[in-house]
Structure 1
Amino acid sequence: MNEPLVVRDAAMRPVAELLRGTPPTCGPDATVAEAARLMTSGRARYVLVCLDAGRLGILTEGDLRRRVLGAGHGGDVTVAQVMTAPALTTPATTLGADALLVMLTHGVRRLPVVSETGEPLGVVEDTDLLANATRGGFLLRGEIARAEDPETLVAACSRIPALTVGLWRARVAALDVSAVLSVVVEAAVRRAVELAGDESRSPTAWFGLGSIARREAVPSSDVDSAWSGDETVAAAREHAAAVHALLDRCGLRADDKGAVADRPRFARSPDQWHSAIEGWLADPFADQALVMLGMLVDSRIAHGDPALDLAGPTAEMLRSRPEVLRLLLKEAVEEKARIPARRRIVTRRPEPVDVKVHGLSPVVNIARWAGTAAGLASESTPTRLRVAVEHGLLSDDDGRVLGETFDVLTQIRLRHQCEQIERGQAPTDVVDPELLGPLQRSLLSNAVREIAGVQRTLAYAGPPA
């Protein structure tokens, strides 16, 4: 097979390189008529609004249509009355792919870019980053977020597999497909929480765990969840059961190992979570402590109060216990990446390979340890690896090997699952090497071998001094 495995574009450049000139700006007291003239003269579809304390607002053409003309206002309305403030911003060094993910997560089409000192440099737009195929993720996410009832949500979610296959067929990079899929699924989870709930509920937080939280979902990914809040745990578990029942109708099944918010282990008050984390740190060999700590470090709030975050506090407490961090590293390197060596007795064909278990999970586990030690929580595996190298927790070579092999194995995994979907099969992580092309088979074998080599290095020599 001679096809390139990935296609990257502007999404892999810093957003500062994608800006088209100085952005039009005004103050909050300007009228919308003045703002419209600035848009016209600057040939822009927005104007940035300079607020106090270095903050920014933004007024777009869409705001003029909806909030001014649509509301029957005249041109003398002040910008402050119709702008969006504070505007979501991003640093100039952000990669386009990361900016795109922020846009997709928050449902915005324009993202102001600021310097290290907070000075507005310009605005990056979805059209600067999106191929036509990727734009479908925006559209479907919006449709899911606006679903008025469970039936509408189920109908929208039924198109998630087709979106995933379409992105893969359009040769969008596998890691980017996973990120888009993760955000779309998270939007479905958020809307299910809302549709199955009651707006009068006490402050709560619904957490996504695992691959969706890391932005690394594939079609076979389960929906792992947890809950924290002030209402009774019994009421929360009842709500969670209703949420997962709706998600199951949407084709988004709950974790089959029980990591779901309708189980007592994953539904606790904030104080109960804090006590549990302290207990797991005090005795990391009991109560599946390392597994639970790892899941919490990966957690991300899908719906609810940001003040109830678990990932940041868990990572911070872990860093205060280096002996427990070392146990996370030990677990990550003990279960070696491998290709089963046995062959079927009758056919002499090689045994199937579980790409997740035999290759990807060791990289995820190493990255989780290294990223946590470097001060991160709730980040993707590639981001954790990059920051770990910057902090000297992984050598340049080991970080490069793990990053490249993670990318390759994600490509193989996604291709396998998309082909299964096209054949009408349920997607799985188990790949028969005999059904892969020569290039894919070689990449799989080499990737697993290199991961095992990094594991041996870390097991024998430990991280760099």
Structure 2
Amino acid sequence: MTETRSEGDRVVLVRAMAALAATPPFADLDTHTIEALAAQARIAEYRAGELILDAFRAPPSEVLVVVAGRVRVWRDAARPHDPDAPDMICGAGEVFGLDATLTGKAIGPLAVADGPVRVVRVPADQAAAALPETAVGAVPTRGLLAPAELSEPGDRLRVDELAMAPLVIVPGTISVREAALAMARTGLAGVRLSDGDLGVVTDRTLRERVLAAGLSTERPVGGVAATDLPRLPGDASAAEALILLLDDVRSDHVLITGPDGGVTGAVEARDFLGSPVTPGLVVHERIERAHDVATLVQHARRLPGLLADLLAGGLGAAGVLSVYSALVDAVTRRMLELTFAAHPEVSLDAFTWLSLGSNGRRESTLSSDVDCAVAFHEPLPQDEIDRYREVFLEVIGSLARAGLTGDGHGATAAHKLFARSSASWEKIAREWLDDPSRNNAAMMVSLLLDARPIMGAHDVPAVARMVTELRAHPASMRMLLEESLAKRARLRPLLRVFPGRDAFDIKRYALLPIVNLARWAALTVGSTALPTTERLRAAAGSSILPARQAATLVEVFEVLQAIRLRRQLHQVERGRPATDRIRLDRISAIDRSIIARAVREIATVQQRMANLSRYENPEDWGRPDPQPDADDWR
């Protein structure tokens, strides 16, 4: 390495200022600050093959900006640093070492000159002082930068902290009347059944299964106890419990289980009063009680404000978006009920309504389309299906007025392609499996694999069949992989920012590639999970998705979703429609750094999958990783 001080301090200053002024995040700084940084910087030159930075050994003391030449960069400490296979190449106007410098952690990268290279080296303390919004942050264990407000609070409210009274256990042989007396203080009782399982009796159970049915209160309580209430471990978040209550209209309690799996208590809606998720519960109650479409539209249009309240109340971004998805479900169900009430010639009992896309995965944001389909329980004549489609179109129009717009490409229940009988879905699913090259099969399969019933029967045979049978169809699996890799994470828009013109589509170039990878990876291991992070965790440790890369993608997805949510709330607050396009010249340096690093991580995984698929047989894609990462999946 040589320093170019011989050129004179003034020349060095001018060159350093020019480099910083053209390189994000320093380009956002005012001229005075850039000049002060340049005065403390130094310019260094390197020969081909010379080490420039090893930030895996220790946090760097400087941030580096490439002025001329190319730098080979490796970002993963666990992988061998093959001289001929760097993770990326940095050219003029690109910065590296920023993440490790600002966080004070040895998270990489390793950088080596690819030829003659000239760089500007800015002292770490000066860079941190010039970029104040990045000075305070919480860094996840895997090394991706994330501001504190993007992470789940460490002191999140646990579901077992909500339970107001212990569960009273009674034998199933006592009478309903005796069980009701035992419930006087708690409002519910655990019933020990003859097979050893534990049922539950609540006030709702007594009303619906005893009083409304005209049964005697002297009959054994074991015969009316509910055994299908949703359950959560005691250390689950309050948000998870709320989502279960919002999603399952048949349940008024969520059971709490201990470390041994036994039921230790239960929570109901009133237990959430005063918690960070209370606003979501209040809005849900208003949605359920809306007496006409106009009132429902009015309540639904307040959802963006609710998301801001939940975020401000301490609920993490992932929890906020899950609650939002549950509320979108509630609005859709109530809209169906109100609309069909005005059309007695059609019946809600005739079909199952399927939520597709991001809401099917419980990942809706304010810019998400309401993709949907229906499966009729019995084959119907086409003219009758068309009559239903007219009502579905009315429902979708009302949802659009509520701020929940339908898919612009026609992926809605009003389209004939997405309104079929269960038998028809089975038939077309078989055709897609047998010949994946027909009728845009890869896209249709991807939509159906994200399907989640939100009203009607909760079993969708075509979906379950696809998950179990796709692995036996190598051609279909390979085509799905090609479809999953078709939308590549793109870094180039991030590296050449033209103020006033450049915008980054965070969904198209970052989030969607992860969603597609996760869906396909879950298929390789036979997982039926829907949320992207659950799919990644299910596939973690397989040959196609090593545990370390799965962990990285989980972290990347959650952080990018948080950035997306905050930006969309900001747009709505300013009276603008929520979009997925982000002006990189108008966001903080820390967010820009996060996005740049995230896109690189996604691209690395995509490239690995593409390379592996060329020489590994499809039937081997879901096998355990023969060389597991050093760090176990957590």
Is the partner of 1:238 in helix, strand or coil? Answer: helix
Residues 1:137 and 2:289 aligned together: no
The CA RMSD over aligned residues, in Å, is 3.5
Equivalent residues in 2 for 1:50-199, closer than 5 Å = 50-53=192-195, 56-60=198-202, 80=221, 85-90=226-231, 92=233, 95-96=236-237, 97-107=239-249, 108=251, 110-114=253-257, 119-124=262-267, 132-197=275-340, 198=344
Distance 1:169 1:313, change over 3 A: same
Residues 1:417 and 2:568 aligned together: yes
Pick one of 117, 130, 151 that aligns with 1:6.
151
Is the partner of 1:133 in helix, strand or coil? Answer: coil
Q: Which amino acid aligns with 1:433?
A: L
Distance 1:130 1:300, change over 3 A: farther
Q: Which amino acid aligns with 1:380?
A: P
Contact 1:25/1:48 (<8 A) preserved = yes
Contact 1:311/1:377 (<8 A) preserved = no
Equivalent residues in 2 for 1:350-369, closer than 5 Å = 351-369=502-520
Pick one of 227, 237, 247 that aligns with 2:399.
247
**Aligned residue number for residue 209 of structure 1:** 356
Contact 1:342/1:350 (<8 A) preserved = no
Q: Which amino acid aligns with 1:248?
A: A
Equivalent residues in 2 for 1:369-448, closer than 5 Å = 369-377=520-528, 379-389=530-540, 393-448=544-599
Contact 1:319/1:325 (<8 A) preserved = yes
Is the partner of 2:200 in helix, strand or coil? Answer: strand
Q: Which amino acid aligns with 1:23?
A: L
Residues 1:269 and 2:410 aligned together: no
Alpha-carbon separation, structure 2, partners of 1:455 and 1:87: 40
Over the matched positions of the two proteins, sequence identity in percent amounts to 31
Contact 1:24/1:48 (<8 A) preserved = yes
Q: Using the TM superposition, give the Cα deviation of residue 255 of structure 1 relative to its aligned residue in structure 2, in angstroms.
A: 0.8
Does 1 or 2 have the higher relative contact order (CA < 8 Å, sep 6+)?
1
Distance 1:318 1:157, change over 3 A: same
Q: Which amino acid aligns with 1:356?
A: K
Contact 1:420/1:426 (<8 A) preserved = yes
Pick one of 148, 153, 169 that aligns with 1:25.
169
Alpha-carbon separation, structure 1, partners of 2:165 and 2:542: 35
Judge which range, 126-135 or 103-112, deviates more.
Answer: 126-135
Q: Using the TM superposition, give the Cα deviation of residue 163 of structure 1 relative to its aligned residue in structure 2, in angstroms.
A: 0.8
TM-score of the aligned structures, taking structure 2 as reference length: 0.65
Contact 1:254/1:260 (<8 A) preserved = yes
Q: Unaligned 5+ residue runs, structure 1?
A: none
Alpha-carbon separation, structure 2, partners of 1:449 and 1:274: 39
Residues 1:220 and 2:363 aligned together: no
Pick one of 485, 488, 495 that aligns with 1:336.
488
Alpha-carbon separation, structure 1, partners of 2:427 and 2:164: 51
Alpha-carbon separation, structure 1, partners of 2:407 and 2:604: 31
Q: Using the TM superposition, give the Cα deviation of residue 187 of structure 1 relative to its aligned residue in structure 2, in angstroms.
A: 0.9
Is the partner of 2:606 in helix, strand or coil? Answer: helix
Contact 1:157/1:251 (<8 A) preserved = yes
Alpha-carbon separation, structure 1, partners of 2:274 and 2:590: 27
Is the partner of 1:301 in helix, strand or coil? Answer: strand
Larger Cα Rg: Structure 1 or Structure 2? Answer: 2
Distance 1:325 1:134, change over 3 A: same
Q: Which amino acid aligns with 2:421?
A: S
Q: Using the TM superposition, give the Cα deviation of residue 87 of structure 1 relative to its aligned residue in structure 2, in angstroms.
A: 4.4
Distance 1:193 1:457, change over 3 A: same
**Aligned residue number for residue 298 of structure 1:** 450
**Aligned residue number for residue 259 of structure 1:** 411
Q: Using the TM superposition, give the Cα deviation of residue 336 of structure 1 relative to its aligned residue in structure 2, in angstroms.
A: 1.8
